[in-house]
């Protein structure tokens, strides 16, 4: 029987990985560690390095706040129960117990579990354990680094590891299978009904010309909706519906369950679409109203009457036992159109005529939608990946950013966290880098609501500033991207103002530093650059 690995070794690995900026060195460190631990510990260590307690599709959550960790850490003093070193398994047993804790006085019981494990932990163990629980790992291990480390440790081809992870949705289990059973086990991984899959993502495009130049085999242009993306899973009488964030929202949208059971001409399928909240004359209503439906767990029927939904479908990933993600877009659309009513399909045109695309874009905007999606006719469905097979075209003066801190307001805004530090994600490091601040765009009620949410996400206090776990995604409008020595990102958004919160998106879905650089460069297509250095 393999001896249990001390958790200290995993914590020390985190410190070493954090200390280097070299991608290949990070991969080598992680690979060596994965080869050194038992098969039972591989998935646990992998998840920890990813900054997670549980797989993305696992509904369990820790619900540990900065305040709870802070209170649990008080009065521990120098006392350490070091007779038996904390193991990786010990840590995960405790995390599972914390996730199961609910009901009255659950905070007290969680704090007691935390105090017990923190008493057994050394300072470095306590540091990385609390950082993981608060979603604050930030050791420079983006998903690609971890997948490459799994490939190196197991000897399985990198592309196969990446594909298996996209299909499976549990990076820990993928690591375990790769290490213990090799390529053959990963080759067997396919889509599984009722296990949500990461949606295929799109690059931004500025206009139709850019798309048509990229898509040599033709392009389909579909409406881009101001709604919530969903995937509908059905087998016989069982239906489950998942959001873009892989959250089960089945119970909040009963009319979509009814549609799946009565209007789709197949008894087993995984299809994808978007739901839009509608108002008078079927026009879309604000995105925030749609999110009220998705959060609703009580009085759902009443809310369904107040906020009716319109479903638009645009992809079929599996139908009657046949997985279709490797089929071209044209084939997937053909199958989808055969099993769902025509009026439920996303409006679309197939054309290479720029004027027709522009006219179609104006129709989408006039009907209250965001713009267009542009999809290569020959493209497969790349689960969880962003690339040039799909583009989104919409007015380019908006970005999705993440709130990483907020300042206490003054004057009329006193008592509210109301000046928000806005950040984009650096694709290379995974770090969120500030690109500006704003207090504009919110109502008093929204100031109050967001203040409460931010305080629950607090990681530390400054004199006037509360620093928070990157969790809230906001769409901001802005006038210009400027160079800025003030921020580590090197950029600042001019006249930024919040247009809405994107509760359907995770921080990793926010716009990136690399995208911001592209937008900055594009501003000079019709302007002269002035070198101020």
pLDDT attached to residue 396:
56
**Architecture of domain 398-522 in this structure:** Beta Barrel (2.40)
- Residues carrying CATH 2.40.50.140, the chain: 398-522
Classify 7-187 by CATH class.
Answer: mainly alpha
Q: Which residues are identified as catalytic?
A: 224
Residues 6+ apart with CB under 8 A from 116: 94
Question: Does residue 425 register a pLDDT over 60?
Answer: yes
pLDDT band at 3 (very low <50, low <70, confident <90, very high): confident
Quote the percentage of the chain above a pLDDT of 90: 67
pLDDT attached to residue 297:
66
Residue in 356, 258, 245, 383 with CA at minimum distance from that of residue 309: 258
- Residues carrying CATH 3.30.470.30, the chain: 201-393
Instruction: Centre a 10 Å sphere on the Cβ of residue 387 and count the other Cβ atoms it contains.
Output: 13
Question: Does residue 17 register a pLDDT over 70?
Answer: yes
pLDDT band at 76 (very low <50, low <70, confident <90, very high): low
CATH placement of domain 201-393: 3.30.470.30
CB 248 within 8 A of CB 257: no
Helix (H), strand (E) at residue 366: helix 354-366
Query: The pTM is what?
Result: 0.79
Mean pLDDT to the nearest integer, 51-68? 87
Give how far Cα 4 sits from Cα of 39, 50, 91, 335, Å.
11, 21, 12, 51
For the chain, the average pLDDT equals 90
CA–centroid distance for 266 within its chain: 30
Question: Does residue 298 register a pLDDT over 70?
Answer: no
Mean pLDDT to the nearest integer, 2-28? 94
Tens-place pLDDT, residues 451-460: 999 999 999 8
Strand arrangement, sheet containing 371-376: 201-205, 386-393, 371-376, 219-224, 348-350
Q: If you ran DSSP here, which 8-state letter would residue 87 be given? A: B
pLDDT attached to residue 532:
38
pLDDT attached to residue 80:
53
- According to DSSP, the residues that pair with 527 across neighbouring strands are none
pLDDT attached to residue 531:
43
- Residues carrying CATH 1.10.3260.10, the chain: 7-187
């Amino acid at each position: 029987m393999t001896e249990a690995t001390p958790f200290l070794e995993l914590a020390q690995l985190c410190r070493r990985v954090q200390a280097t900026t070299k991608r290949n060195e990070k991969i080598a460190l992680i690979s060596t560690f994965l080869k050194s631990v038992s098969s039972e510990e591989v998935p646990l260590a992998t998840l920890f390095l990813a900054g997670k307690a549980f797989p993305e599709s696992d509904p369990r959550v820790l619900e540990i706040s900065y305040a709870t960790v802070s209170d649990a850490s008080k009065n521990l003093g120098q006392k350490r129960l070091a007779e038996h070193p904390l193991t990786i398994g010990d840590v995960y047993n405790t995390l599972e117990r914390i996730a199961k804790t609910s009901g009255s006085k659950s905070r007290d019981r969680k704090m007691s579990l935390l105090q017990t494990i923190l008493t057994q932990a050394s300072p470095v163990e306590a540091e990385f354990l609390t950082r993981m629980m608060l979603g604050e790992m930030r050791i420079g291990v983006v998903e690609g680094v971890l997948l490459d480390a799994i490939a190196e440790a197991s000897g399985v081809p990198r592309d196969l590891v990446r594909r298996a992870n996209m299909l499976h949705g549990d990076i820990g289990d993928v690591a375990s299978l790769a290490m213990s059973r090799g390529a053959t086990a990963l080759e067997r991984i396919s889509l599984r009904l009722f296990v949500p899959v990461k949606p295929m993502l799109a690059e931004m495009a500025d206009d139709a010309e850019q798309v048509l130049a990229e898509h040599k085999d033709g392009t389909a242009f579909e409406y881009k909706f101001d709604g919530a993306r969903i995937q509908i899973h059905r087998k016989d009488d069982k239906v489950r519906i998942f959001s873009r964030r892989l959250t089960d929202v089945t119970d909040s949208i009963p009319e979509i369950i009814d549609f799946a059971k009565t209007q789709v001409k197949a008894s087993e399928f995984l299809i994808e679409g978007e739901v839009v909240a509608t108002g008078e004359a079927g026009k879309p209503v604000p995105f925030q109203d749609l999110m009220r439906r998705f959060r609703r767990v009580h009085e759902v029927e009443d809310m369904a009457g107040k906020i009716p939904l319109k479903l638009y479908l645009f992809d079929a990933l599996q139908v009657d036992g046949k997985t279709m993600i490797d089929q071209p877009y044209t084939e997937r659309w053909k199958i989808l159109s055969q099993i769902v009513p025509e009026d439920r399909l996303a409006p679309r045109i197939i054309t290479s005529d720029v004027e027709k695309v522009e006219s179609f874009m104006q129709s989408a905007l006039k009907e209250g939608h965001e713009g267009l999606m542009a999809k290569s006719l020959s493209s497969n469905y790349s689960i969880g990946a962003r690339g040039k097979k799909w583009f989104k075209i919409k007015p380019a003066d908006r970005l999705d950013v993440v709130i990483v801190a907020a300042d206490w307001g003054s004057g009329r805004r006193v008592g509210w966290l109301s000046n928000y530090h806005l950040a984009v994600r650096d694709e290379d490091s995974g770090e969120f880098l500030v690109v500006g601040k704003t207090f504009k765009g919110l109502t008093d009620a929204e100031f109050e609501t967001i203040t409460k949410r931010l305080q629950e996400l607090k990681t530390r206090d400054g004199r006037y500033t509360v620093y928070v776990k990157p969790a809230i995604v906001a769409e901001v409008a802005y006038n210009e991207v400027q160079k800025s020595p003030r921020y580590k990102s090197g950029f600042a958004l001019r006249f930024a103002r919040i247009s809405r919160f994107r509760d359907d998106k995770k921080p990793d879905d926010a716009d990136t530093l690399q995208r911001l650089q592209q937008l900055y460069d594009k501003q000079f297509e019709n302007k002269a650059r002035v070198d101020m250095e």
